[in-house]
Structure 1
Amino acid sequence: MTADQTKTSQEATGPAGPHGGSQAAARAVVVGILAAMAGLMFGLDTGVIAGALGFIGDEFHAAARTQEWIVSSMMAAAALGSLVAGRISFRLGRRRALLAASLLFVAGAGLCALAPSVAVLIVGRILLGLAVGIAAFAAPLYISEVSQESVRGAMVSFYQLMVTLGIFLAYVTDSLLSYGGHWRWMLGLMAGPAALFCAACLFLPDSPRWLMMRGERGRASQVMRLLRVSPADADAEIRDIAQELKREGGSGLAFFRSSPNFRRSVLLGVALQVMQQVTGINVLMYYAPKIFQAAHFGVSAATWATALIGLVNMAATGFAIAFIDRWGRRPLLILSCAIMTGAMVMAGGLAAVGGDSTPILGGMVAALLLFVAGFAIGAGPMVWTLCSEIQPLRGRDFGIACSTFTNWAANWLVSNVFLTVMAALGQSWTFWLFAIMNGLFIVITLAYVPETRGVSLEEIEARLMAGRKLRELGR
């Protein structure tokens, strides 16, 4: 159902009756799930390079530095894509931004699969990076704007679950295709899911909050009534949005310059995304086989150990979805960082001892699995959820563009230097450095991160603009 079809759909469904509320709730969940397919593409693109990189290096005789560029070119392009996404999302809508991302996913996957050289492969990775940057910006934003506050955390976290599902599927296909060295199939298979995602985008309605910013209150009300349990709830939410729009002035960069309170929320979003990247999670996702091989795993064993990481990542994210709207964002984020800190200390200690005995290798796998589980229950889904919740409506595109850009810029920096840093410091000190970063994340969470569970976006915005402390914006 596109936005242009909402009026017809509303007339067909009529006012909310005994079953109208449940149908609307189910419709909102389906809309959120379709948008969350962007996360599946994100995960496939993130995970697939881990298994393909070694074969690519062999075929093109690529040195370690060249391999770093093959991996990190996607992140640099994703950073640019997140900035472009802000303009697309603001002018054309969140739905069209997702549609643009899906087309880039198809084109990038095809180019990578057929690449005759490293240069062409990097171009394909750049297209995929642009797609990831746009999707990572638009999907959490869209889901947060169409979901009711009681399930908003779970719905945005479902996007992160789809990311982990994509990573897991990429690792499994990499493992199966690694026996024949079929790296082109590894990179090209994502074109199929990308085409399905493109079709799904055609059935999404426009965000009612975006429509309100465009002055289209009638269409916004129609869409909101399709997504809320009762017309009264939908109309009340529309009135709250209208009230916030009246209170604000300017947009984007102008709003950032004129509002010190908005600057605070933007800076918090930026800090959260930086901390998410320096936990070390994406380094593990991109270079897991190389990390395991450095720990004396065989090539096949390293590939399957990497697939196990993907499975744990997905399962732990499911745990986060179950509890994010029960326990809240802050407790899960603090628990997450504490687990990751302990796991990195453990991994560093095992790397310092060294050797290829069964206890050492088993302990290394356990430490990295514990680290991934810790990330998945908190730092992964909570950061994206919080960044989509804390920005005021008028500046939401600009604020989330800043935080998403920062995510990919930090992602690029960490992934681009990781192999070099590990060669210079050694595995043990590299892991211990990540442990320090995770400890710092706990301090930042305690000092600045609000508890937004069960609080409407409009309430969070009102407290922000009233000058309340950042950690007091929610409950």
Structure 2
Amino acid sequence: MSQPVNSSGSPFATTPAAPPAGSGRAGRAALTTACAGLLVGLDTGLIAEALGFIGRDFHASARMQEWIVSVLMLGALLGSLGAGVFSRRFGRRMALGTATLLIAVGALLCATAPVIGQILVGRFLIGGAIGICTFTAPLYISELTTGRMRGTMVTTFSMLQSAGILLGYLAGGIFSGGGHWRLMVGLPLVPAAILFAGCAFLPSSPSWLAARGRFEEARVVLRNLRGDAAAADRELAHIRTELDTDRGVGGFALLRARGYFRRSVALGVGLQVMQQLTGINVVMYYAPKILEGAHFGTSAAAWATVLVGAVNALVGVAAIFMVSRWGRRPLLMTSCVIMALALGAAAAIEGLHLEGMGATLSLMASLLVFVAGFGMGAGPLVWTLCSEIQPIEGRDFGVGCSTLANWGMDWAVSNTFLSIVAAVGAGWTFAGFSVLNVVFVLFTLLLVPETRDVPLDEIEAHLESGRPLRQIGR
């Protein structure tokens, strides 16, 4: 149901029919789920700072360092591939709890590794867990919340990824003085244990309960979450109608049978490919190496990387408010334009081999502007949109496909960046990503819908009616 802003203008506003108590329960559950984003981001920041020390201690080549980074994406790819089946069978809460346990085990393996092979195994397990988290958390949040809170809370998941990256960079900056990379890679044990305990207090997804035929349990959960019995009963009635329409048809069968589902899956996959080809993970994983190449010292590069993480986190906070005021399409297009210009500037600096303090600071500034552009739009909005555009019966499969595309493309980019730079130079590499961001502006203009404040059932009805993808929202 659509939820207008209250008189205070708060993005957490609810419809007058939903008492604050119900909204508060949904908000707390969604916020706990969104904390999975902290774990996802923490690893990115930590490995970026720890990579050089691991390479030094184990005498790892540049190619092996690419694998240390990218083996996580292979795990995430497989984790996201299996997350849909696991989440569908055992529920969102169980999937999230399992992911936090895997992160703890993987972090322990990395921190105690006597050989580089154990680090690869540990990071593969962490990757599998991250794949599950990035599939489950936005989907779970979208099923727990409604209207404006839905966009805000999914964006919070993305913002907490940014906060996790910053914490990882900070920890790396602190521990880098003594080269304590084992403390860096073992740090996720603490938040993973806390979130694992928090999962015990989360409610089951009402949509998942209904899909399992447990309608009375779904009714109880919805009434607790919404704080309004009538609104909860109407929502459950809609869920039952949608389930009855396509009962027994799911996954690949639904993909073959429903043209509208093929279109929504294709859009979700396209959005995730778009996000990864912006170049964001090139900067986030390899920022210290990029800055060292720009004549920053090792210690200076570590702390300059913290500044990259700080900008990412601050813009992530701002995005929580912008997503509910600007709308999806304008924010996403603005984001891509900023990233294209910033990477174009970085390409010019690197390609022309400019030197001196002015060139170094200009490169740093262009990277900061790029990160800010990503954090305000492409970062949070892609996950939000992918959780909104899939019909209920195929939601697990559709979100699973888009998450799989995200990690597959993430692996492809992170596993080849250093090699591409060695072959064609940093200037041409940044120029290529800049051009891709221009392409993504056109992609958004032609295909991406505006879903701000549009209930999921309306989006689904518009999709099924055959409307063009860009018109399935408002």
TM-score by length of 1: 0.95
Superimposed CA distance per residue, residues 157-189 of structure 1 (whole angstroms, 9 cap, x where no aligned partner):
000011001000000000010000000000001
> What residue number does 1:81 align with?
79
| Whole-angstrom distance in 2 between the partners of 1:307 and 1:192 | 21
Q: What amino acid is the match of 1:320? A: A
> What residue number does 2:27 align with?
29
- 1:32-43 equivalences under 5 Å are 32-43=30-41
Gaps of 5+ in 2: 1-15
* 3-state SS of paired residue (2:204): coil
Contact 2:18-2:226 at 8 Å conserved across structures? no
| Whole-angstrom distance in 1 between the partners of 2:112 and 2:210 | 44
| Whole-angstrom distance in 2 between the partners of 1:189 and 1:318 | 24
* 3-state SS of paired residue (1:407): helix
* Displacement after TM superposition at 1:20 (Å): 8.2
> What residue number does 1:456 align with?
455
* Displacement after TM superposition at 1:229 (Å): 3.8
> What residue number does 2:366 align with?
367
| Whole-angstrom distance in 2 between the partners of 1:81 and 1:283 | 22
> What residue number does 1:224 align with?
222
* Displacement after TM superposition at 1:352 (Å): 2.1
* Displacement after TM superposition at 1:46 (Å): 1.6
| Whole-angstrom distance in 1 between the partners of 2:252 and 2:216 | 28
Q: What amino acid is the match of 2:315? A: A
> What residue number does 1:9 align with?
none
Contact 1:140-1:159 at 8 Å conserved across structures? yes
- 1:85-100 equivalences under 5 Å are 85-100=83-98
| Whole-angstrom distance in 1 between the partners of 2:39 and 2:327 | 27
Q: What amino acid is the match of 1:345? A: G
* 3-state SS of paired residue (2:260): helix
Superimposed CA distance per residue, residues 390-416 of structure 1 (whole angstroms, 9 cap, x where no aligned partner):
001101111111100110000000000
Question: Is residue 2:390 matched to residue 1:381?
Answer: no
* 3-state SS of paired residue (1:452): coil
Q: What amino acid is the match of 1:98? A: L
* 3-state SS of paired residue (1:332): helix
Gaps of 5+ in 1: 1-17
> What residue number does 1:152 align with?
150
Contact 2:38-2:162 at 8 Å conserved across structures? yes
* 3-state SS of paired residue (1:150): helix
| Whole-angstrom distance in 2 between the partners of 1:210 and 1:257 | 23
> What residue number does 1:321 align with?
320
Contact 1:295-1:354 at 8 Å conserved across structures? no
Contact 1:77-1:129 at 8 Å conserved across structures? yes
1:214 pairs with one of 209, 212, 215:
212
Superimposed CA distance per residue, residues 213-262 of structure 1 (whole angstroms, 9 cap, x where no aligned partner):
11111111111111114222111111121222222240111111111110
Q: What amino acid is the match of 2:45? A: G
TM-score by length of 2: 0.95
Aligned residues: 458
Give the % identical residues: 53
Q: Which stretch of the first structure deviates more once superposed, 349-358 or 444-453?
A: 349-358
Contact 1:41-1:193 at 8 Å conserved across structures? yes
* Displacement after TM superposition at 1:356 (Å): 3.9
* Displacement after TM superposition at 1:466 (Å): 1.4
Contact 1:205-1:223 at 8 Å conserved across structures? yes
Question: Is residue 2:61 matched to residue 1:55?
Answer: no
Q: Which stretch of the first structure deviates more once superposed, 382-391 or 223-232?
A: 223-232
* 3-state SS of paired residue (2:467): coil
Q: What amino acid is the match of 2:182? A: R
Superimposed CA distance per residue, residues 181-222 of structure 1 (whole angstroms, 9 cap, x where no aligned partner):
000000001100110010111110011111111111111111
Contact 1:111-1:121 at 8 Å conserved across structures? yes
Superimposed CA distance per residue, residues 26-60 of structure 1 (whole angstroms, 9 cap, x where no aligned partner):
11111011001110100011211100000000000
Q: What amino acid is the match of 1:24? A: G
| Whole-angstrom distance in 1 between the partners of 2:286 and 2:322 | 30
- 1:49-448 equivalences under 5 Å are 49-249=47-247, 250-448=249-447
* Displacement after TM superposition at 1:353 (Å): 3.0
Q: What amino acid is the match of 2:277? A: V
Superimposed CA distance per residue, residues 408-433 of structure 1 (whole angstroms, 9 cap, x where no aligned partner):
00000000000000111111111100
Q: Which stretch of the first structure deviates more once superposed, 397-406 or 228-237?
A: 228-237
> What residue number does 2:13 align with?
none
Superimposed CA distance per residue, residues 120-162 of structure 1 (whole angstroms, 9 cap, x where no aligned partner):
1000000000000000000000001111112211110000011
| Whole-angstrom distance in 2 between the partners of 1:441 and 1:353 | 26
| Whole-angstrom distance in 1 between the partners of 2:205 and 2:418 | 42
